[in-house]
Structure 1
Amino acid sequence: MKKVRLWQCLFLLGMAVLQVLLTEEISESAHRRNCFSYEKAFDNLRNHNLTKDQSDTFFDAAESDIDKFSELLTMYFASECQITDPRTLKEQLSDAKKYRGDEFSEIKEYVKCAWSDLLCFPVGKIVGKPDDTVGFENSWMQSRTFGGDRGHEGCDIMASENVRGIYPVYSMTDGVVENIGWLRLGGYRIGIRSPSGAYFYYAHLEEYAKDFQIGEQISAGTFLGFMGDTGYSDVEGTTGNFVVHLHMGIYLNDKNGTEFSVNSYPMLSYLWERQGGVLR
């Protein structure tokens, strides 16, 4: 009888231990799954819902190290842009790297690619008119209908003086000219691939500063041309279908080489504030 009771006790003890181990394994498995969401991070990377104050906070916390900044921003995106405290994000980093390292690294490299090479706000002063300026708002994925219903993949920098050919446009980064010429939607455009791999797309130019060649190396601050209102037509040189502005887009390539757009508004805001909120 005593042996039966002993075996019963041992069986119950074993079941209790097994239950604890299973609970811990389930909890650990859930933590591995939930410590980093690739889908959330990728969607929010594209939307780039980031204020100037938040980017400043992350840069300060990263001590201006672009790799650390990219890590914080990646975790911020994975949190659905809800966690803004760098200390909390840093605490979550180790688990994301440990359990979802490949996915975390992929998003981090996209972030780093978009932010690494920014040096120059893309619009400068009008000669002889120091008080004229520009304005821009977050118009990411707002509805556009020319050529079919679509979302706006970029940020429009609007001229305070609606005159084509007077606002100079400059390259935001060093890079290589990858595309140039007329596009139905973009009018006269130029596309520049930065050293980190991001593609910077400048559209609706009135004219080019010179005869740029595909493959030509340029520096940040290079004069590209003048802001205009070209585009929305198959007929090269068409103007007047909208007000004068610069459409500024940023595109990245995923690990399979497929291009996708990211919201350029936070990057433009960062450069604008960096130069004191005035044209130069």
Structure 2
Amino acid sequence: MSSSLYASTGGKHTGVDVAADNVQDGVDTPVYSMTDGTVYSVSYSELGGHAITIQPDFGGYLYHGHLKYAPVLKAGDEVKKGDKIAALGHSGATDIYHVHLEYSKTPEMSNSLGNDEDPSFLFQKNGTLKQDQKIIP
């Protein structure tokens, strides 16, 4: 994670950036849902690029930003942990392939009201992820 990528926005860098080791142009690197839940919104902004926010079954909102293109899912769609929800990208205010993750108990994310929380409880606690491995918190 590097806050210098976001210096031009004048704001703080919040959430967690997750990148893949070997992204290839022209090849989609999948982004998988980390939880069971419901799609809350699919959006685009100049800062976050293409994004999808999922409302996990356990509550709150999980934002995924800088996606390669607009997700085919729409608000109200159900997702299961491990479902492909998007492709890793660099849309919005970045030029590095990654997904920006934020978790909040309310739908307003940190860039608007500072409501984000540490999403690391959703990450695998040890070991190394392998290609197509699902993350199981």
Alpha-carbon distance, 1:180 to partner: 0.3
Question: C-alpha deviations, 1:63-93, integer Å up to 9, x for none?
Answer: xxxxxxxxxxxxxxxxxxxxxxxxxxxxxxx
The answer to whether the 8 Å contact 1:163/1:244 transfers is: no
- The answer to whether structure 1 residue 267 and structure 2 residue 129 are counterparts is no
Report what 2:110 is aligned to: none
1:189-204 equivalences in 2 (<5 Å): 189-204=51-66
- The answer to whether structure 1 residue 160 and structure 2 residue 21 are counterparts is yes
Q: How far, CA to CA, are the matches of 2:83 and 2:32 in structure 1?
A: 5
The answer to whether the 8 Å contact 1:199/1:250 transfers is: yes
Instruction: Percent identity, please.
Output: 27
- The answer to whether structure 1 residue 207 and structure 2 residue 69 are counterparts is yes
Runs of 4+ in structure 1 off by over 4 angstroms are: none
Name the Cα RMSD after superposition: 2.3
Q: How far, CA to CA, are the matches of 2:16 and 2:73 in structure 1?
A: 24
Report what 1:174 is aligned to: 36
SS of 1:159's equivalent? Answer: coil
Report what 1:105 is aligned to: none
SS of 1:265's equivalent? Answer: helix
The answer to whether the 8 Å contact 1:170/1:224 transfers is: yes
- Larger RCO: Structure 1 or Structure 2 (Cα < 8 Å, ≥ 6 residues apart)? 2
The answer to whether the 8 Å contact 2:63/2:103 transfers is: yes
Q: How far, CA to CA, are the matches of 2:61 and 2:95 in structure 1?
A: 25
- The answer to whether structure 1 residue 248 and structure 2 residue 110 are counterparts is no
Report what 1:277 is aligned to: 128
Q: How far, CA to CA, are the matches of 1:208 and 1:219 in structure 2?
A: 19
Alpha-carbon distance, 1:182 to partner: 1.1
Tell me which protein shows more helix as a share of its residues.
1
Structure 1-normalised TM-score?
A: 0.40
The answer to whether the 8 Å contact 2:69/2:91 transfers is: no
Alpha-carbon distance, 1:264 to partner: 2.1
Question: C-alpha deviations, 1:176-227, integer Å up to 9, x for none?
Answer: 1111031111111100011222211111111356x21211111111111210
Closer, same or farther: CA 205–272 of 1 in aligned 2, 3 Å:
farther
Question: C-alpha deviations, 1:213-259, integer Å up to 9, x for none?
Answer: 21111111111121011112xxxxxxxx4211111111113xxxx77
Q: Could you tell me which amino acid in structure 2 is paired with residue 186 of structure 1?
A: G
User: Which one has the largest radius of gyration?
Assistant: 1
Q: How far, CA to CA, are the matches of 1:155 and 1:163 in structure 2?
A: 22
Q: How far, CA to CA, are the matches of 2:125 and 2:85 in structure 1?
A: 18
The answer to whether the 8 Å contact 1:154/1:265 transfers is: no
Report what 2:80 is aligned to: 219
SS of 1:207's equivalent? Answer: coil
SS of 2:51's equivalent? Answer: strand
Q: Could you tell me which amino acid in structure 1 is paired with residue 58 of structure 2?
A: S
Question: C-alpha deviations, 1:159-188, integer Å up to 9, x for none?
Answer: 222435431101111111111031111111
Q: How far, CA to CA, are the matches of 2:122 and 2:69 in structure 1?
A: 25
Q: How far, CA to CA, are the matches of 2:9 and 2:70 in structure 1?
A: 25
Structure 2-normalised TM-score?
A: 0.76
